[in-house]
Amino acid sequence: MSFPADAPFVSRPVPTFAAGLLALGVHALFALLLVFGVSWQTQQPAPVMVDLWDAFPAPPQPAAEIPPAPPEPVKVQPAPRPAATEPAPVKTPDIALEKKQAEAELKAKQIAEDKARAEAREKQLAEQKKREQLRQAEEADLMRRMADEEAANAAKLTRLAEARAAASRRQAAVASVVGEYQDLISAKVRGNTRIPASLVGNPEVRCRVRLLPTGEVQSVQVTRSSGNPAYDDAVVRAIEKSSPLPLPAESDARAEFVPELLFVHRAKD
């Protein structure tokens, strides 16, 4: 007995290389997305002071609309005299009747012409009057609109002034709260400061203090030294020891302290 020599079933191989390239492509895409899409921000944005206004300041006054020049009443040329020239005197006819007849005809023609001219003038007058009325109405409308605008602007200005006054009042209130808390913080820090023996005079130390919203001290940096490193260190330690610092409850006043506080410290005050 022998084994059958049947061909095994083989399918065409799958394009593995292309699959590998696609896999790499997916990862490259994801990496790009991660690198450029996610901003790994580490710097806290600088505190921003925002003034709240009830209304926007008045926009630059739009150049007063130049009223479209009222259409000049077009002077209608008086209707050209129809057939200005008098019919040339006909050769004196021989017969008087003919002459008379012709005269009568001429007269009738003249009367008709006069009538037509009068009618045309009347029509023209009426048109002019109508146009005049229209122009007057337009002018009145424009005046009314301008007055309205002026009134609105005045109202806006008063509102603005009120808002400004309110803001300044608020700022004054905030400033007083800020001063109070500055005193509080200074007192607390001063209580924790151990003035080194080597200190002479009353030097000033300026520090930049980063605070968490809870008042906890995140970091302290000396921006201007007193010239005495031992005293600088003592102040930094005192600030760290004073954590958490007292902070006002209102967010406006708090913005002066969080996230960064410029702190000026004097040994004796």
Q: Which residues bind other proteins (CB under 8 A)?
A: 6-7, 9-12, 14-16, 18-20, 22-24, 26-27, 30, 34-35, 38, 40, 42-43, 210, 218-221, 236, 240
Query: Least distance (Å) from other proteins to the CB of residue 33?
Result: 11
Query: Least distance (Å) from other proteins to the CB of residue 252?
Result: 26
Closer to other proteins at the Cβ: 7 or 96? 7
Distance from C-alpha of 38 to C-alpha of 26, rounded to nearest angstrom:
17
Distance from C-alpha of 169 to C-alpha of 16, rounded to nearest angstrom:
74
Closer to other proteins at the Cβ: 6 or 72? 6
- The DSSP line for 144-203 is HHHHHHHHHHHHHHHHHHHHHHHHHHHHHHHHHHHHHHHHHHHHHHHHH----TT--S--
Closer to other proteins at the Cβ: 19 or 120? 19
Both tokens assigned to 24:
């790499």
Closer to other proteins at the Cβ: 22 or 104? 22
Distance from C-alpha of 247 to C-alpha of 62, rounded to nearest angstrom:
47
Asked whether the beta carbons of 241 and 209 are under 8 A apart, the reply is: no
Residue 263 pairs in a beta bridge with 207
Asked whether the beta carbons of 196 and 230 are under 8 A apart, the reply is: yes
Closer to other proteins at the Cβ: 14 or 52? 14
Query: Least distance (Å) from other proteins to the CB of residue 230?
Result: 17
Query: Least distance (Å) from other proteins to the CB of residue 64?
Result: 56
Query: Least distance (Å) from other proteins to the CB of residue 218?
Result: 6
